[in-house]
Structures are given as C-alpha cells and as structure tokens.
Structure 1
C-alpha cells in the first residue's frame, strides 16, 4: 500500500475546540471514544468508525477533560463549572457530581472503576471513592500552578500529575505524599501512560519525552519541527504520533527518532491525540472543533475505510504499486465519502 495518501475520517458535531479524548479498552461491543470540548458537551462515539452514539448533557461550562473506564460502562468529565461528573455511559445518565473550587482539567478512573482521580486549577489532586460518593476525597497538595493532566499508574497505588509549574509529580496513593518529581524545561502539554504501565509520554516545547514509569528516568526525547501539545505512543512502542501548533500530525520512529511522515488535516492547533486500544487508528482533536480518525497503516480495510483492489486487467492502474481505498463516514450525523488514492 505504499504511496497512499493519509485521509482522515472527520467526526463533526462539536462547535468549539476539542481539548481531550480517551478510548476505552476493547469490549464485547467493540471499543469506544469520548471527546471533551469547550462547547460543554462531551460526546461518545464508536471508536473504530467515529459514529456518534450520544452526548452527555449537564455541564454549564467548557469541558476540559473526559475519560472512559476500561469497559466503557462509565464516563467521567471535568469542566469549567468547577465540577467533575461521572456518567452511566450506557444510559447517558449523570451518576455523581463532585464540586471543586476551580476548573477541573483532567479526570481518570482506577482500573477497577471504584475511584475517580481529578486534577484542577486549584493546584490539587483528589481521589473520590465512587462506592462512597458522599465521603470526603483524598487530597494531594504540592503543585504550585494549574494541573493539566492526571493518571493512575497500572497498579493504582500511585498517581501521576503534570502541571504548569514545569513538573511531573508522582504521588503515593496511601499517604497522599509526593514520592518523586520530574522537572521539565517548560510547561508540559500532555501526559500519557502506556496501557502496560511501563512508559510515560510527556510533551513540552518542541519535544516529546519518554520516561520509565517505574524508575522515572528519562529514556529519550525527540524534537519536532513545531511546538508540540500532545503525543501518543503506539501499543507496539515502535513509533509515536504527535501534533501541535502548526496544525500538522507527525509520526516518528520511537527507536531512531526519525520522522516517518507528516500531514496536515486540521485547520487549527492539535490539542489531543491517542491510539485506539488495538493500535489500528488514532484520534486527534483540534482548535478547529473537529475530531479526526487516522489510519495507522494507510490503505488497509478497517472500520469505515474500505480498501478496493485495483482492476489491473481493465487498466485501472499502470503499476502494481498503485491502489485506491474508499470509505463512507456518517459521524456527527453528517455523511461524506472519503477516497484515498495512489
């Protein structure tokens, strides 16, 4: 499939910048994707096609963070209305609303979905017990500026946070004390933990950096041509994608740091990106108000992308390397035909 042009599926529906996204694990019904947007209306979609499933109605301000639990039965959102909300992702109903004293920027479930972690502009992290929603949360204090991203580690005995104070901090869940701090040369744009819990991916300035998630030692950092807001490491750990201020999506070889490809699809800075749990596609959200799905391997049949074998006998192509692929997207209640050609 060499020579095919990367053409993303565009998931419309949002009316303002898309600032966060998250995939569920693979479930018996496939996998799912949630997006956070400044329009205050987080949306749930089928992960492999981008087809709209529903919108969570209830926030009264921009939604900055959104996540799904592993089974896609629960969703959580954090917003500018100073609340974090937990939703029944199957029925769309609000289950809990947790008040904060400032904007909630990031939310994350524990692996068993019993706890919700939040990070806010109060410079505090909180863990809420979802089995005892009326109980006081556990509070983690130490950051000196707005918290941008939070994450449980794989064992859920530690939490990781990234903030505008140019640090990534690791905290002990039992004691609520900081146990390690990574200092960065500039404020981080994003924080990601691989599904196996082994590597932290952090972006800052023009760089995407990777850290051992147990020792917290830096493994490497790779520079991009433009300031980078977000990055995601493929489940295979062979390459990663990133995007930022120049509207482009970049793919880099994880081992050599070489740029594999770059392409422009968005019409504004890229704010968030993440790979699907099977690694077949990745989603990106942008200032342009759209969520886009990109093929990891262009030209394969997957989701709404349909690879059509060329008819060589009828002269459809002149070389055996040429091919075409078409797909129809119905995301966001709109329909479009996408064609990928050599």
Structure 2
C-alpha cells in the first residue's frame, strides 16, 4: 500500500439562508490542496459505515482509501487493469468489492489491501453493492460485444480470511428491456432495485429474475446514480434528464422530484438534515469551451421536503461524477472529472439553520 494525500476543503460557498458563514480552514489542511487524489476522473466515492474512511475509484485503475477527517491517504488497492467503475464496503470495514472495465469483480481486504478473490466476466462490471448483512454482493455487467446486460448475485463467505469464495453466482439473470446501470439491495430479502439506461426504475426478485414492479417513466434518460436511505425504505436517483427523484423502494412510488438545469451524475441523501445533494454538469467533451460557472460544476443542496434549491458549493473544474455523505452527516465528499476528491466539513450554521421552520428528519 502506498501513501500520499487527499484534497480536503473546509470552506463552504453557500448563498442560502442556512449557511451564510464561511469556515476558514487551518493552514495545515489547506496545504493538502496541492495533492490531487487521482490522475484521471473519479467514478465513485464511498464512506465506510463509521465514516472515518473514504474510498475512491477512478479511470486511472486505482482504488484509494483516505482518512476522512484529515485527508491523509491510508493506502491504495492495486491490481485492476482498467477503469474501476464502482466500489462498496461492508458494514464492518473488513471487505471491499470493486467492479472494473477489465471485466472483473474483486474482493479485497480493507486492512491489508490484498485482493482476496477475483471473479471474471465477458464484459465490464459497472455497479456493485453489498446487501444489508454483508452476506451477498450484487453486480451489473455491461451489455457489449454480443453479451446481454447481466445481474449476478454472489454469496460472500466470511469465514477465514475471505479468500475461499464460490466461482459461480448464486443467482444470475438478464434484466428485461433496457440495460441496468445501477442497483442496490432493498430491505426485503432477495429484492433489488435497479436504474436503467432508458430511465426506468425497477424491482427484481434475484432468485427468479422476475421483474416484480417497474416505473418506466421514472426518468426520461439514463439513470446515473442510486443511493439508499439508511433504513433502505427509500432511495434517491439522478439522471441525465436533469432530474433527481426520491422513490419508495417497496412500490417505486415517486415521493419527491428535484428539477435542475444540468445533467446529473450523482445524488445523495443527507442524514439528520432535510437536504438532498446533487452533482453533475455539462458533458466532459464540451467542458473546454465552457467557463466553470456556465458548466454548472457545483454541488447543489435541495430541501428534501419542499423541493427547493437552497445552496451551492463550487470547486471542481469539470463535471461532478460522484457524491457521498458521511454517515453522521458531518461532511460530504465529491469526486470530479478533474481527478480531485473534495471533502467539505459543515460548520455549526448548517446544523442549526431552519430555512423553512422546524423539519425533523428521522433516519
């Protein structure tokens, strides 16, 4: 494992009622600004369950792990031979799973950085996720080269050092119609929720491969991200159609809608506070002809209940590809096309402000 630093920002640039005060970081934290997290654009970032570690993956084939409180890089997970599209961490911070463009799903030891097991497929792995008790992993493989999009579920053997795993999936099926782009286990055993290239959001029984419910009109363009609430009873999706929505994971009912003026790549739910964070921006291929402001490379804060935008945070020099929020809600991280990971810690005004009066959020 190698060592280095992460970019960590404590300065917020809100122009909304709940955070009018700027937090001035200490010089020692500002000195970390000179160290980018990756050599190429970020694809996904995730906090562990405790929030002390932040994992980031990128098109540079590398997975990094950082201390979230000070930006120190704890190490790297080397071994992939292509873009690492996706990562997830179990609730004990013992195992890490990753999916890559080298057509592999890999199981890693978080502590040692060792690759414990590798599953190989005909096409790239675009999304991975643990279930609630960390005993299963679901993964989506790409539709390409004559192969259909496939969803596989693997049992994770947690005995011993984790290197003794079954090569064959417990469940395997090809989703109906439009290919799946994102997925996660719901609260109901063996039921997953998926987002699709067509904009559809669906529920599948992984045992039978049956699509048990769907919302064909959840979005009008590709679903780019799907993140669950802490209790897995609802989720937020983002899409290239410039809209994010909160869905009930039992019946796919749309609960809330957040309409922006820019394509969205990621959406996250803030715990303890009534906010949804959205990130995106103009397509990367057009960025060189657009100013940072016109490209709309900002993290947007929307009120979860009232569906109104209440603040923005600038910083990235390209589209924001991924957003993650600390499990305790004390900070959030964003990863961009510019190759930087930025961690923003909230000041007291964020927690005390009530822009629309008292709204209690129970997670």
Fold shared by both chains (TM-score > 0.5): yes
Which residue does the alignment assign to 1:330? none
Residues 298 and 119 of structure 1, relative CA distance in 2, 3 Å threshold: farther
Which among 87, 92, 99 is matched to residue 78 of structure 1?
99
Q: TM-score, normalised by structure 1?
A: 0.81
Which residue does the alignment assign to 2:152? 126
- 5 Å-filtered alignment, 1:267-306, equals 267-297=317-347
User: Structure 1 residue 117 and structure 2 residue 138: aligned?
Assistant: yes
Which residue does the alignment assign to 1:169? 202
User: Structure 1 residue 187 and structure 2 residue 222: aligned?
Assistant: yes
Q: Contact (CA 8 Å) 1:157, 1:172: kept in 2 or not? A: yes
In angstroms, what is the RMSD of aligned CA positions? 2.2
Which residue does the alignment assign to 1:21? 45
C-alpha distance in 2 between matches for 1:271 and 1:143: 27
Which residue does the alignment assign to 1:234? 270
Q: Deviations over 1:308-339 (max 9, x none)?
A: xxxxxxxxxxxxxxxxxxxxxxxxxxxxxxxx
C-alpha distance in 2 between matches for 1:162 and 1:138: 19
Q: Contact (CA 8 Å) 2:267, 2:276: kept in 1 or not? A: yes
Q: Contact (CA 8 Å) 1:124, 1:143: kept in 2 or not? A: no
1:140 CA drift (Å): 2.4
Q: Contact (CA 8 Å) 1:73, 1:89: kept in 2 or not? A: yes
User: Structure 1 residue 90 and structure 2 residue 97: aligned?
Assistant: no
Q: Contact (CA 8 Å) 1:129, 1:135: kept in 2 or not? A: no
Which SS does the other structure have where 2:20 is aligned?
A: coil
- 5 Å-filtered alignment, 1:135-154, equals 135-154=168-187
Q: Contact (CA 8 Å) 1:143, 1:163: kept in 2 or not? A: no
C-alpha distance in 2 between matches for 1:192 and 1:136: 24
C-alpha distance in 1 between matches for 2:167 and 2:349: 51
- Which of 81-90 and 12-21 deviates more? 12-21
- 5 Å-filtered alignment, 1:304-323, equals none
1:38 CA drift (Å): 0.3
**Structure 2 gaps, min length 5:** 1-17, 144-148, 158-164, 282-295, 352-363
Residues 31 and 67 of structure 1, relative CA distance in 2, 3 Å threshold: same
Number of aligned residue pairs: 298
Q: TM-score, normalised by structure 2?
A: 0.77
